[in-house]
Amino acid sequence: MKDKLTPKTITFGLVVCFLPLLMYGVDDIVDFLSRYDIYLGWPGGEYMLRIIVRACVYMLLAVGLNIVCGFTGLLDLGYVCFYLIGGYTVGILMARLGVSYWIALPLAVLHGTVWGLLRGAPTLRLTGDYFAIVTFGFAELFFRIIRNEEWLVGAPNGQLRGIPSPTLFGITFNQNWHNYYHILILLTLVVFITYRLQHSRVGRAWVAIREDEQAAESMGINVSRYKSLAFAVSAAIGALGGGFIAQFQVSISVPFFDFWESILILCMVVLGGMGSIRGAMIGAAILGSLGEVLRPGFIIPYQFGNARYLIFGIILILLMRFRPGGLSLKKA
């Protein structure tokens, strides 16, 4: 973020801004070549864009989780619960009550924040793994409520269908490239806010709490207040991601929000380097797309298709073995 406008950053910025065009451009080239019987194994621009949008959602979530895990140093194993709350708030409001997306999304963020504070309150005293297991328990609880209470969603298993795409000025945002710019704006906003928070009094207080809670308290930092703030901001970001994914996926069900997602997001934060926004984003970009990149026919041949998560695991182990401090930090 402190980079000057070098040619490298300008190119990067341009690529980010015009990524959908690039994808569709390659599609056209592939199409053109196929008329001359030249087949490239290009997986298709829409699919690539969808992976990228998903990776961006993971970036958003990783930045959010990084606030609790990276800045305040508390291990959160249940971050997915805010993702779920956001997703179902937007989903239920839009699909069942017909509320506009532009009203539902802020409401979802608010809802997430409230639960972030509620979950935070009893856990303020907890440290380390006791905090972790309580967050995990909370996530499981929400997961089961959505799954069991059929009246809430109106269908078994939290199966919510037909979430409408947002409309603005008569345009329906249902294409993958719409979603790309949509998430890009949200992501920029979140990164900006988090960055400003990190480099303010609040951010320094969080790091102080991470380094030594008692010392921080004796220096006059209101630990409870700053921890609660971290929980609230983090939860709000998670709910934002959930709200976005609900309209992006059109139909959601509870397995979207299972324990594995929490773990995956945590892996992203750690892989990138705890406490670094850029690290969280890099980690999310890698792990958020790795599952798809490792799908058969992409890099691995179809015969080894079932080895996808095996390779995923090996990559995790190797990355941690050789970069224990995360990708964004210098070698420990």
Partner 1 sequence: MAQLLEQFINGLVLGGIYALIAVGYTMVYGIIQLINFAHGEIFMFGAYLALMLITVFNIPFWIAVPASMLLCAMLGMLIDLVAYRPLRDAPRLSALITAIGISLVLQNLARMIWSARPRLFPTETLPAFLVSEVNMQTGEILNAIPLPGGGILPYRDVCILLLAVVLMIALNRLIYLTKIGKAMRACAQNRVASNLMGIKTNQVIAVTFAIGSALGAIAGIMVGLSENITPTMGYYKGVAAFAAAVLGGIGNITGAMFGGIIIGLAEVLGAGYISGGYRLAIAYIIMIAVIVIRPSGLFGKSTANRA
Partner 2 sequence: MRNWLTGLLIIGLVSIFGCGQQKELKVAVAAPYTGGAAAFGEMIRRGAELKQKEINEAGGINGMKLTLLFEDDAGKGSEASLVAERIANNPQIVAVVGHFNSDCSLAGQEIYDRAGIVELSPGSTAVEVCEGSPWTFRNLYHDGFQGKFIAHYLDNVLTGIESVAVFFDNDAYGRGLRNAFVAEAEKIGLTLVASEAYERDSTNFKAQLTSIKAKNPDAIFISGLFTEASLIVKQGREAGITAQFFGADGVDSPDFLTVAGSAAEGTYLTTPFTFGAGGAEAKQMETNFKALHGVAPDTWAALTYDAVGMIKEALEKTYNADASIEENRKAIREHLASLDTPEEGYKGVTGLTYFDIKGDTVNKPAYVKIVKDGQFVAAEKQLSELK
Q: List residues near partner 2 by CB under 8 A.
A: 30-31, 34, 37, 39-47, 50-51, 54, 147-148, 150, 155-157, 159, 161-162, 249-253, 255-256, 292-293, 295-299, 302, 305-306, 308-309, 327
Q: Which is nearer to partner 1, 13 or 324 (CB)?
A: 324
CB of 176 to partner 1, least distance (A): 29
Contacts with partner 1, 174-203, as mask; x by CB under 8 A: ------------------------------
Give which of partner 1, partner 2, none residue 3 binds (C-beta under 5 to 8 Å, depending on kind).
Answer: none
d(CA 255, CA 82): 14
Residue 252: helix, strand or coil by DSSP? Answer: strand
Q: Which stretch binds partner 1 (CB under 8 A): 55-63, 71-79, 86-94, 292-300?
A: 71-79
Residue 18: helix, strand or coil by DSSP? Answer: coil
Query: How far from 281 is each of 27, 141, 189, CA to CA, in Å?
Result: 27, 28, 14
- Write the burial class of residue 144 (CB in 10 Å: 0-12 exposed, 13-18 middle, 19+ buried): exposed
Can you tell me which of 141, 168, 185, 219 binds partner 1, judged by CB under 8 A?
Answer: 141
153 binds partner 1 (CB under 8 A): no
Element (H, E) at 55: helix 45-66
Q: What is the dihedral sign for C-alpha 3, 69, 269, 114? A: negative
Give which of partner 1, partner 2, none residue 130 binds (C-beta under 5 to 8 Å, depending on kind).
Answer: partner 1
Q: In the structure encoding, which two tokens stand for residue 328, read together?
A: 């964004």
| 258 within 8 A of 314, measured Cβ to Cβ | no
Q: Which is nearer to partner 2, 75 or 145 (CB)?
A: 145
Q: Which is nearer to partner 1, 22 or 293 (CB)?
A: 293
Give which of partner 1, partner 2, none residue 157 binds (C-beta under 5 to 8 Å, depending on kind).
Answer: partner 2
Query: How far from 244 is each of 86, 102, 302, CA to CA, in Å?
Result: 8, 11, 32
d(CA 181, CA 289): 18
d(CA 61, CA 284): 8
Q: Which is nearer to partner 1, 135 or 179 (CB)?
A: 135
Residue 2: helix, strand or coil by DSSP? Answer: coil
In the chain, what's the furthest Cα-to-Cα distance? 74
Q: Which is nearer to partner 1, 241 or 273 (CB)?
A: 273
Q: In the structure encoding, which two tokens stand for residue 162, read together?
A: 């037909």
| 240 within 8 A of 190, measured Cβ to Cβ | yes
Can you tell me which of 99, 126, 193, 223 binds partner 1, judged by CB under 8 A?
Answer: 126
270 binds partner 1 (CB under 8 A): yes
Q: Which stretch binds partner 1 (CB under 8 A): 34-42, 94-102, 198-206, 263-271?
A: 263-271
Q: In the structure encoding, which two tokens stand for residue 42, read together?
A: 């290009």
133 binds partner 1 (CB under 8 A): yes
Give which of partner 2, partner 1, none residue 325 binds (C-beta under 5 to 8 Å, depending on kind).
Answer: partner 1
Q: What does the binding site for partner 1 look like in residue numbers (CB under 8 A)?
A: 69, 73-75, 122-123, 125-130, 132-134, 136-138, 140-141, 144, 147-148, 213, 259, 263, 266-267, 270-271, 274, 306-310, 312-317, 320-321, 324-326, 332
